[in-house]
Homo-oligomer: A and B are copies of this chain.
């Protein structure tokens, strides 16, 4: 029943060509101290330095730029309260078309402000799946905008794969690439890039323990959506789509999980040792290595740091709501 995407590394190469003048070629950083702790050589692909602060811009930019001119007259639209909302807004601005963003009315003021800064037009809805879809349908009818799904979209997936493409060309002979899994767009693009140009590299996805729908879906052989997911990694609450599910099933080695305490520990370690700001969702990969749910001992490992849009007023290791830190 799932749509089989006819995607390959060629689509990712094409996406890379298309977004080249607009997206950053982000740096790969390393840390001797973190390598010692991990017992491996980690190569961090820093998508926190990507435009709008997250890898999402790659996919949004590819999708918007690939649209036929007549399709873009009404602009583009999506539903997102997070990084894809900002990404699509900026991509639309580059194409000089409007971006309509359906957001739940409980989205933080900071998130709304970020979308507005990139020129996105926000339509608020009640924070339920039903209300969101109704509102999106209404917006699409009113504006005749083209809908761009945040992850269950071939052009979006191809765009997200360009981060891994850059990483694989810069760092040779990676044994493993580790990627956070939310809706599955990033890991799908990554897995397709790896399958096309570095077939000896395994691709491992990491989910928060409290939002492990991809792991359960793979086990069950069908999509099992998240119910009441709960994690500090707020970018990873979404469930797989049919397209990302089928790519993951075909090309991803395995999915592991990580507890919030280790996500926070990894996030703090990255800030402290690498002097860069990453959001909780970006720290799940190192978190899994620290927790030991992912064994990469002695390997060369690519780690995609997915984004840097952390809430600087709510640092998770400061204050009352902190889960207990694991003993090191």
Please pick, from B276, B278, B312, the residue contacting A272 in the complex, using a CB distance under 8 A.
B312
Check: A271 CB closer than 8 A to any chain B CB. yes
**Distance in Å from the Cβ of A280 to the closest Cβ of chain B?**
14
Q: In the bound complex, how far is the Cα of B67 from the Cα of A69, in angstroms?
A: 67
Chain B neighbourhood of A308, CB < 8 A: 275
Are the C-beta atoms of B275 and A271 separated by less than 8 Å?
no
**Distance in Å from the Cβ of A236 to the closest Cβ of chain B?**
19
- Chain A 231-272, CB-CB to B under 8 Å as 1, else 0, gives 000000000000000000000000000000000000010011
Are the C-beta atoms of A312 and B268 separated by less than 8 Å?
yes
Check: A161 CB closer than 8 A to any chain B CB. no
Assign chain A's interface to a size class. Answer: 10 to 19
One of A93-101, A219-227, A291-299, A313-321 contacting the partner: A313-321
**Distance in Å from the Cβ of A268 to the closest Cβ of chain B?**
6
**Distance in Å from the Cβ of A67 to the closest Cβ of chain B?**
25
Copies in the complex: 2
**Distance in Å from the Cβ of A314 to the closest Cβ of chain B?**
8
Chain B neighbourhood of A277, CB < 8 A: 271-272, 275-277
Check: A48 CB closer than 8 A to any chain B CB. yes
The SS class assigned to the A binding surface is loop
Residue of B nearest to A275 (CB): B308
Residue of B nearest to A27 (CB): B27
Which residues in window 48-71 of A have CB below 8 A to B? 48-49, 53
Which residues in window 21-53 of A have CB below 8 A to B? 27, 48-49, 53
Q: In the bound complex, how far is the Cα of B319 from the Cα of A321, in angstroms?
A: 14
Q: In the bound complex, how far is the Cα of B315 from the Cα of A319, in angstroms?
A: 11
Are the C-beta atoms of A271 and B312 separated by less than 8 Å?
yes
Chain B neighbourhood of A312, CB < 8 A: 268, 271-272, 315, 317
Residue of B nearest to A311 (CB): B272
Chain B neighbourhood of A318, CB < 8 A: 313, 315, 318-319
Chain B neighbourhood of A317, CB < 8 A: 312-313
Are the C-beta atoms of A275 and B48 separated by less than 8 Å?
yes
Q: In the bound complex, how far is the Cα of B51 from the Cα of A275, in angstroms?
A: 11
Q: Are A49 and B271 CB-contacts (below 8 A) given A27-B27, A313-B317, A315-B315?
A: no
Q: List 19 A-B contacts (CB under 8 A).
A: A27-B27, A48-B275, A49-B275, A53-B275, A268-B312, A271-B277, A272-B312, A275-B276, A275-B277, A275-B308, A276-B276, A276-B277, A277-B277, A312-B317, A313-B318, A315-B315, A315-B318, A318-B318, A318-B319
> What are the 4 A-B residue pairs with the smallest beta carbon separation, nearest first?
A275-B308, A275-B277, A48-B275, A271-B277
Beyond the given pairs A271-B277, A275-B308, A315-B315, 14 more chain A to chain B contacts, judged by CB atoms under 8 angstroms and listed by A's residue number, are A27-B27, A48-B275, A49-B275, A53-B275, A268-B312, A271-B312, A272-B312, A276-B276, A277-B277, A312-B315, A313-B317, A313-B318, A315-B318, A318-B318
